[in-house]
Amino acid sequence: MGEYLLSVAVNEEKCTGCMKCMRKCPTEAIRIHKGKARVMEDRCVDCAECMRVCPNRAWVARTYPLTSLSRFKYNIALPSPALYGQFSRDILPNTILKGLKELPFDDVYDVTLACEFYGVVLKEFFDHYRDRRPAISSVCPVVVKLIQVKFPDLTDLLVPLETPRGIAAMDIKSRKSRELGIKYEDIGAIYIAPCPAKIIPIVQPQCKEVSPLDAAVSIADIYGLLLSAMRKVTNKKEELHLSGGSGISWAITGGATQSLGIENCLAVDGIDNVIEVLEHLEDEKLNGIKYLELRACPGGCVGGALNVDNHFLARNKILMLIKMFEDRKPLDREKVNELYRQQFFTCDIKPKPLPMEPLDRDTMRAIQKVKERDKIFETLPRIDCGACGAPTCRSLAEDIVQGRSAITDCIFKLLEKGKA
């Protein structure tokens, strides 16, 4: 696996080269080449905006197919908190978890419970946080990658804790390994993911040397199966959903920071908004903020591209559940301490900066290229029509100086040339 791995791919048979994704991409990572969308890997941050906007369903998530799970002796499903917002209001988390057990999973683990454990540790982290600059949540893999690629100087600010989903995986895998006498490696912790990006830290771990999660399957892929499985679940008393409202609140932007009561935090969602706030942070214009909860998807994980329900409706459902379970028994503090002693929260490695390359590694040549690019740009029509295959005239000018495109890729320039 190289430095860059993408969580989405283009199905060339379905791609019509319509440019919708190219225009939407927040990092200008997409070009249309010979009528098909192409990704510049070093710029992609896995936000899946391309997938969301594609009218031809040509972008596919590189999540794992359900059939791939047979490689594990024992499979455990760990659903994203966003899954609880995907069904009608009468379907409660316990039914969803029971339903998951009817799918090809041997067991389930309520990740919202791990969110509560994580919340306790995060709160303590902030009780001792003294940095002048805010810490940034490391839970959203798109945010982590965006920072690595576009704001490399901010990577040190990412909260150095394993994610709730990772903690959940370690907790259940070590417990099941003990109880059932199965080797830890033979147990598969499978994340039920609301977005393609969740596969990235599985393949390229950000905190532990080896990812605690083993695979991620898409919520959309299991949705139909889960609906029918839930119809079959019995009333047999089985408490699978264990968290209170605060754990469930992780599904939506700002839910967790609100329930934890961390002061001076800023909760921001939507990739463009996240970029704007990080620009502010880079220029030291965010004074007095202690914590940045950044989520690439609109509304938080409920807005992930692999969800089924509209994110406003899902948010509404999550808010209902938060209220419904807010008075649940207090959190098991001893359990948090136990996980802490096992060092499940601490990171062995840190995400490393992966800065986008300047126009040239040689500064003199880079300056020359800036001049050339700006000169070319002046001659372009500057209407960003996209017909050349680049999202803007400026990006075409850059592609030309980098040798990726020719001036005649611009239809206006081609026409001029034809007339001359």
Query: Measured from the CB atom, is 3 or 284 closer to another protein?
Result: 284
Tell me the C-alpha distance between 146 and 130, whole Å: 24
Query: Measured from the CB atom, is 122 or 154 closer to another protein?
Result: 154
The residue written with tokens 């997938």 in the block is 51
User: Could you please report the per-residue DSSP string of 384-402?
Assistant: ---TTSSSSHHHHHHHHHT
Q: Is 375 in the site for another protein (CB under 8 A)?
A: no
Note whether 277 and 266 are within 8 A (CB): yes
Q: Which two tokens stand for residue 10?
A: 């283009």
Smallest separation (angstroms) from another protein to the CB of 252: 28
Query: Measured from the CB atom, is 286 or 387 closer to another protein?
Result: 286
Residue range at the interface with another protein (CB under 8 A); choices 106-114, 263-271, 352-360, 379-387: 352-360
Query: Measured from the CB atom, is 285 or 341 closer to another protein?
Result: 285
Q: Is 360 in the site for another protein (CB under 8 A)?
A: yes
Query: Measured from the CB atom, is 237 or 285 closer to another protein?
Result: 285
**Closest to 136 (Cα-Cα) out of 308, 246, 303, 280:** 280
CA dihedral of residues 336, 79, 319, 92 (deg, nearest 10): -100
Among 333, 346, 349, 367, binds another protein (CB under 8 A): 367
Q: Which two tokens stand for residue 414?
A: 């081609």
Query: Measured from the CB atom, is 231 or 371 closer to another protein?
Result: 371
**Closest to 340 (Cα-Cα) out of 87, 117, 146:** 117
Query: Measured from the CB atom, is 55 or 288 closer to another protein?
Result: 288
Tell me the C-alpha distance between 77 and 240, whole Å: 12
Among 89, 323, 371, 375, binds another protein (CB under 8 A): 371
Residue range at the interface with another protein (CB under 8 A); choices 114-122, 135-143, 190-198, 360-368: 360-368
CB contact set of 148 (below 8 Å; sequence gap of 6+):
155, 351, 352, 353, 354
Q: Which two tokens stand for residue 58?
A: 């040509």
Would strands 74-79 and 59-61 be described as parallel, antiparallel, or unpaired? unpaired
Would strands 135-136 and 59-61 be described as parallel, antiparallel, or unpaired? unpaired
Smallest separation (angstroms) from another protein to the CB of 7: 25
Smallest separation (angstroms) from another protein to the CB of 362: 8
Smallest separation (angstroms) from another protein to the CB of 381: 21
Residue range at the interface with another protein (CB under 8 A); choices 3-11, 96-104, 288-296, 349-357: 349-357
Residue 291's beta-bridge partner residues? 135, 265
Smallest separation (angstroms) from another protein to the CB of 28: 12
Among 348, 358, 385, 416, binds another protein (CB under 8 A): 358
Instruction: Give the total of residues touching another protein (CB under 8 A).
Output: 21
Q: Is 364 in the site for another protein (CB under 8 A)?
A: yes
Among 349, 356, 411, 415, binds another protein (CB under 8 A): 356
Query: Measured from the CB atom, is 104 or 353 closer to another protein?
Result: 353
Question: Site mask, another protein, residues 259-288, x = CB under 8 A?
Answer: --------------------x--xxxx---
Smallest separation (angstroms) from another protein to the CB of 267: 20
Smallest separation (angstroms) from another protein to the CB of 56: 33
**Binding to another protein in span 141-160, by CB under 8 A:** 152-153
Tell me the C-alpha distance between 308 and 370, whole Å: 44
Smallest separation (angstroms) from another protein to the CB of 275: 12
Dihedral sign for Cα atoms in the order 226, 227, 228, 233: positive
Query: Measured from the CB atom, is 8 or 397 closer to another protein?
Result: 397
The one-letter amino acid code at 324 reads M
Q: For 73, which DSSP code?
A: S
User: Could you please report the per-residue DSSP string of 84-143?
Assistant: GGSS-TT--HHHHHHHHHHSS-SEE--HHHHHHHHHHHHHHHHHT---SSPEE----HHH
Query: Measured from the CB atom, is 221 or 372 closer to another protein?
Result: 372
Residues near another protein (CB under 8 A) are 152-153, 279, 282-285, 355-361, 363-364, 366-367, 369-371
